[in-house]
Structures are given as C-alpha cells and as structure tokens.
Amino acid sequence: MAVHAHPDDESSKGAATMARYVAEGAEVLVATCTGGERGSVLNPALQGDPEIEANIHEVRRKEMDAAREILGVEQAWLGWEDSGLPEGDPLPPLPEGCFALLDVDKAAEPLVRLIREFRPHVITTYDENGGYPHPDHIQTHKITMVAFDAAGDPDAYPGAGEPWQPLKLYYNQGISRARIEALHEGMQKRGLESPYGEWLERWGDRDERDITTRVPCADWFETRDRALIAHATQVDPDGFWFRVPISVQREVWPTEDYELVRSLVDTDLPEDDLFAGVRVGVRR
C-alpha cells in the first residue's frame, strides 16, 4: 500500500516500483488522502480553461483513474479535503476543515479501516518533512505512522474492521543529492544540457536521508512517465521532469529509493526489495 496526499503524488513517487510489483503478481493499492481540489493547474497548455478550473476536483479524479489503469494498481480515496499550499509572508491560515488541520487520530481512521480491509504487508509514505513541506504531505506522514501501529491493535478503532498488522514501513526517498548529482553528471558526459545545475547550486547543507533500499525498476520508467503525464493538469509533458532521457536514467540510476523505518521481520540492509524478509512463508 502506498499512502499519498494528492492525486499525481503516486505517479511521481515510487510509481515504477509499484508497476514492477504489479507485473510480478503483487496486489498494490494507492491510498489517496485528498482529492487535490485546491491544486493549481500547472500545465501551461491547460491554464486559463474555465471549465477545468470550475471542475478541478472531477478532472483530477479522472486523471487519477487514468494513472491507476496505466500502473495497474488499485486506488482508494480517504475522502479528506485538500489543504492547498499556503504562500506569502506572512503565510495565510489553512482553510477550515481541511486535511492538514484535522486531529491526527481522527484523520487516521479511514486509513486504519483501509489497511484492515486490504491487509498489506508493506506500506510506503513520506518522511516527517513530507518529502517537501506541504501541509498535506506532513499530515499524510502523521496519519500513516498512527495507522501502521493502530491497524494491528484490537483495542484501537474497534469499529474499523478486524485487526491487521503490516510488517514493514518505508519512506519514499526519490530526491537524494547522490541521485541528482549522478543524473547531472550523466547528462554532462553525454554532451546534454542538465536540468539540475541550478538545483544543485541551491542544495546547500540539507541533511541527507538514510537510503536503505534501492529497488531496481528501470524497465518500468516509461510506465511511470505515462502515469505522471496522465495527470494532465499537474504535469507539463515538455517540462522539467522529462528532460533526462529514460535511456540515461536507466544507465545512471536504475532504481527507486526508500528508507526503511519500521520492520517486524528480519532483513539485512541494504535491501533491493521492499518485500525482503516478508516473502518467505507469507500467505494472504
């Protein structure tokens, strides 16, 4: 199960991994916390379309359906309201009733219910910084941490189904300095213009996360990109994220990367499989 804040997050974080596991016969479910209804139209080709702007929630649901089909995953909405990304100085308050302002225990209840229904062995989500500090991403982290423990506790959320304890919890860690530097140098060595030069200059002294698990999934990079492009309001197909050719990505950095933060099974680090330690003897 991959727990994400908005439709499109599942296609930009761990999508190739999910597509690989689907191809291998695993059941994969994306849990989407909000409908993305406060998201802006980021694709220049669609900006200013009054019909899209007036029906952004419905449009994003259809985009999610298309991406889900491309990846081959199942998908469920938790039903919370997008908080939007506050901008300005000082930052404006978040909208009343939005996902990020909910009590964490209350917001975790539908995720606990979903975990107990789907019965995943492995869960992925964001770290405590949300991957980047969007309030919905941070809240997604919080409710996933609560739900991972509560789902297996018969005394927690007694009306939310029969207890089920997931075995491993990972944070998505797709944006590391090592990966960005490798892609940057890979482009330069091939005489291609890298999109990452200014990004690396701004990187500063940001702490690096502990990458414990690198999942080989280069054969599914094209599937990942098609799923991301399906979120047409959010993604410019000619934009930044597609400037490194897939052939370069496959050669330079053929994995998607994760940080193992909870494990109830024995596993040796580093890993190359989210199911390391789970596969032996486990039956649904």
| 3 state DSSP class of 124 | strand
User: What is the domain partition of the chain in residue ranges?
Assistant: 2-175+210-263
| 3 state DSSP class of 71 | helix
CATH superfamily of 2-175+210-263: LmbE-like (3.40.50.10320)
Are the C-beta atoms of residues 85 and 134 closer than 8 Å to each other? yes
Tokens of 168: 């491993």
Instruction: Return the pLDDT at 284.
Output: 45
Instruction: Return the pLDDT at 131.
Output: 87
The pLDDT profile of the chain, 284 residues, written as one tens digit per residue, is: 999 999 999 999 999 999 999 999 999 999 999 999 999 999 999 999 999 999 999 999 999 999 999 999 999 999 999 999 988 888 899 999 999 999 999 999 999 999 999 999 999 999 999 988 899 999 999 999 999 999 999 999 999 999 999 999 999 999 999 999 999 999 999 999 999 999 999 988 888 899 999 999 999 999 999 999 999 999 999 998 899 999 999 999 999 999 999 999 999 999 999 999 998 755 44
- Whether residue 136 is annotated as binding a ligand: the answer is no
Q: Can you tell me the distance from the alpha carbon of 148 to that of 97, in angstroms, rounded to the nearest whole number?
A: 24
Instruction: Return the pLDDT at 282.
Output: 52
- Whether residue 9 is annotated as binding a ligand: the answer is yes
Tokens of 160: 């939310």
What is the length of the chain?
Answer: 284
Residue 137: what residue type? H
254-265 residue pLDDT tens? 999 999 999 999
- Whether residue 137 is annotated as binding a ligand: the answer is yes
